[in-house]
């Protein structure tokens, strides 16, 4: 393992050094040069994905409506499964119905931890701060609503991910929207459409893995470390190089290696970050009722920041979609590796993600920002800097704790998204060792690039790439939701009759 990590370090440095030297010789800082390049190259792409219509003078991205509408439709169509199936979800997570002899590579808990590590990231810290600073406290309400509805989307896509996954003789599996779009739609007599949608998704997922799952995470982690400890302030590329080596050392081992790391990191980072937020909330428990009042009032008040009711709704829905990725299809890739013979089991486990990610963690972040009043006196700060200021306004030393949490969030998100991007890459270019290694090296290079850029180009590209994945995925969910509904009724009947065996 250590020799592979050294090999990654040498390769990444070899690929990166000429770019750094060129940028410095060109007479400008490397951060500025890379930002300008990405703004020029991906500007048209961002504009297309976030094409907006004006509603009451407020710009509304159609891609957000595309995601949220799907979540509400699936909520109703699946019989509000996110509320009726919670108890069964927890039983599955506990291993009550887990057969160790089933095909797959990871347990239900490991699959959930891996998927959560891909969604519980800096979107929960920086993204929430962006929403509250632009949309006011009311954005929190719409984040919660979107999170609850998104549980049905996650249930549907992760069920399909296991149902149509590809199992190989050596025991490893590949699954996700690429496979259920091509295989599922082929079953319905639409093989051509399925193949086109699958390829489109895979391409966008690769971009998403480089953007929101990589560059955005590294960018905010670097900013947090620089602000907290005063190091790497002018050498983001060096911080990125170190981070790239650590990421490379983990992802070289595949999903089993990633799962082993995430099942330890996810509980740890939850304890650190949620525990820190709880300390602040408990210390200010008398302000919690008034904070919730601001959230409810702000959600419907016409004088809400950022364009009235429509403006605050847009900010809340947009950041929730970016945070939990329900409908995007990314998590289905991780859940497809689970050990199970029943696709519905992973659908039930997966619906817990948006609840943990958005309803719990995002809400706690927003409450800290609101209770401390940081959003009203931001001094121009946004993203992770605003969240950090909110935490430190209560206990100055909490900035160090938050910095550790940010690093864990960023690292775990990176290694999970490397797997998402890898499976999309191998879907397009084949399952081979050379293909996998090529992607992993490119991914590590993008870690360095992300740490060397300004926030604007990073967040624009990140949002656009991840949201673009939903174009083909949501269409596939509509076309295949009847299949999931039929399987759901059959599964519930077999659970009720006792046909499905309990192991605990």
CA distance 71 to 473: 12
Model confidence pLDDT, tens digit, residues 79-136: 999 999 888 888 888 877 776 766 666 677 777 776 776 666 666 776 777 777 767 7
pLDDT, position 33: 65
pLDDT, position 104: 62
Residue found by looking up tokens 């490991």 in the block: 110
Scored b (16 or more CB within 10 A) or e, 377-410 reads: ebeebbbbbbbbbbbbbbeeebbebbbbbbbbbb
Alpha-carbon distances of 489 from 142, 327, 343, rounded to whole Å: 31, 22, 13
- What DSSP element (H or E) covers 415? helix 398-429
pLDDT, position 385: 72
Asked if 454 contacts 226 with a C-beta cutoff of 8 angstroms, the reply is no
Residue count of the chain, please give it. 504
311's tokens:
């403006």
- SS3 of 170-203: CCCEECCHHHHHHHHHHHCCCHHHHHHHHHHHHH
CA distance 372 to 52: 33
Q: Which residues, including other chains, have CB under 8 Å from residue 445's CB and lie 6 or more apart?
A: 12, 15, 16, 244
pLDDT, position 119: 66
Asked if 222 contacts 240 with a C-beta cutoff of 8 angstroms, the reply is yes
Scored b (16 or more CB within 10 A) or e, 345-376 reads: bbbbbbbbbbbbbbbbbbbbbbbbbbbbebbe
List % helix, strand, coil for the chain (3-state, nearest 5).
75, 5, 20
Dump strand ranges (E) for 344-454: none
Asked if 174 contacts 423 with a C-beta cutoff of 8 angstroms, the reply is yes
pTM higher than 0.75: yes
Q: Among candidates 299, 346, 368, 362, which has minimal Cα distance to 487?
A: 346
Model confidence pLDDT, tens digit, residues 200-209: 999 989 988 8
pLDDT, position 160: 95
pLDDT, position 485: 95
pLDDT, position 192: 93
Residue found by looking up tokens 């009203």 in the block: 376
Burial level of 285, CB count in 10 A (0-12/13-18/19+)? exposed
Alpha-carbon distances of 64 from 70, 428, 466, rounded to whole Å: 10, 27, 11
Q: Among candidates 61, 66, 67, which has minimal Cα distance to 46?
A: 61
Q: pLDDT digit of tens for each residue in the chain (504 aa)?
A: 444 444 544 554 454 455 544 444 444 455 566 567 667 777 788 888 888 887 766 677 888 888 889 999 999 999 999 999 888 888 888 877 776 766 666 677 777 776 776 666 666 776 777 777 767 777 788 888 888 999 999 999 999 999 999 887 766 778 899 999 999 999 999 999 999 999 999 998 998 888 878 887 888 788 778 877 888 877 888 888 888 888 888 887 766 777 777 777 777 777 777 888 888 888 888 888 888 888 888 777 655 555 556 666 766 776 676 677 788 898 899 888 888 888 998 899 888 888 888 888 888 888 888 888 777 665 666 666 777 778 777 778 777 877 787 788 788 888 888 889 999 999 999 878 888 889 998 998 888 888 877 656 666 777 788 888 999 999 999 999 999 999 999 999 988 888 877 766
- Nearest 5°: the CA angle 426, 480, 341 is 65
Q: Among candidates 213, 270, 366, 396, which has minimal Cα distance to 221?
A: 213
- What DSSP element (H or E) covers 376? none
Residue found by looking up tokens 């009722």 in the block: 289
Q: Among candidates 199, 67, 204, which has minimal Cα distance to 145?
A: 67
């Amino acid at each position: 393992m250590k020799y592979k990590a050294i090999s990654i370090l040498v390769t990444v440095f070899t690929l990166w050094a000429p770019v750094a030297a060129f940028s410095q010789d060109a007479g400008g800082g490397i951060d500025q040069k890379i930002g300008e390049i990405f703004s020029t190259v991906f500007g048209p792409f961002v504009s297309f994905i976030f094409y907006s219509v004006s509603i009451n003078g407020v710009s509304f991205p159609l891609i957000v409506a595309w995601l949220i509408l799907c979540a509400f439709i699936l909520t109703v169509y699946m019989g509000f499964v996110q509320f009726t199936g919670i108890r069964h979800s927890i039983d599955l997570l506990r291993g009550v119905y887990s057969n160790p002899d089933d095909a797959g590579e990871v347990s239900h808990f490991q699959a959930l931890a891996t998927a959560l590590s891909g969604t519980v990231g800096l979107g929960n810290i920086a993204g929430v701060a962006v929403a509250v600073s632009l949309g006011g406290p009311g954005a929190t309400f719409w984040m919660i609503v979107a999170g609850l509805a998104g549980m049905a989307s996650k249930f549907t896509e992760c069920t399909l991910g296991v149902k149509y996954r590809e199992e190989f003789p050596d025991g490893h599996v590949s699954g996700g929207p690429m496979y259920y779009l091509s295989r599922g739609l082929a079953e319905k007599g639409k093989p051509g459409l399925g193949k086109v949608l699958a390829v489109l998704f895979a391409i966008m997922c690769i971009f998403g893995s480089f953007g929101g799952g990589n560059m955005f995470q590294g960018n905010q982690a670097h900013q947090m470390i620089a602000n907290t400890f005063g190091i790497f302030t002018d050498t983001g590329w060096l911080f990125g190089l170190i981070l790239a080596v650590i990421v490379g050392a983990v992802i070289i081992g595949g999903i089993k290696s990633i799962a082993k790391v995430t099942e330890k990191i996810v509980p740890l980072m939850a304890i650190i970050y949620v525990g820190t937020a709880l300390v602040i909330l408990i210390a200010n428990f008398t302000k919690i009722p008034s904070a919730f009042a601001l959230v409810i009032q702000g959600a419907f008040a016409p004088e809400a920041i950022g364009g009235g009711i429509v403006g605050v709704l847009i900010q809340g829905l947009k950041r929730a979609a970016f945070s939990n990725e329900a409908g995007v299809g990314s998590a289905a890739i991780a859940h497809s590796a689970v050990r199970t013979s029943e696709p519905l089991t992973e659908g039930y486990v997966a619906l817990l993600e948006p609840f943990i990610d958005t309803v719990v963690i995002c809400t706690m972040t927003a409450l800290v920002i609101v209770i401390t009043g940081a959003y009203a006196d931001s001094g121009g700060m946004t993203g992770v800097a605003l969240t950090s200021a909110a935490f430190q306004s209560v206990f100055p030393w909490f900035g160090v704790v938050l910095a550790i949490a940010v690093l864990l969030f960023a690292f775990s998100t990176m290694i999970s998204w490397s797997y998402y991007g890898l499976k999309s890459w191998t879907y397009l270019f084949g399952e081979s060792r050379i293909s996998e290694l090529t992607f992993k090296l490119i991914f590590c290079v993008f870690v360095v690039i992300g740490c060397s850029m300004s926030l604007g180009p990073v967040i624009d590209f990140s949002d656009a790439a991840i949201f673009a994945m939903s174009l083909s995925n949501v269409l596939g969910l509509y076309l295949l939701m009847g299949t999931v509904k039929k399987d759901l009724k059959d599964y519930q009947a077999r659970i009720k009759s006792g046909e499905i065996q309990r192991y605990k």
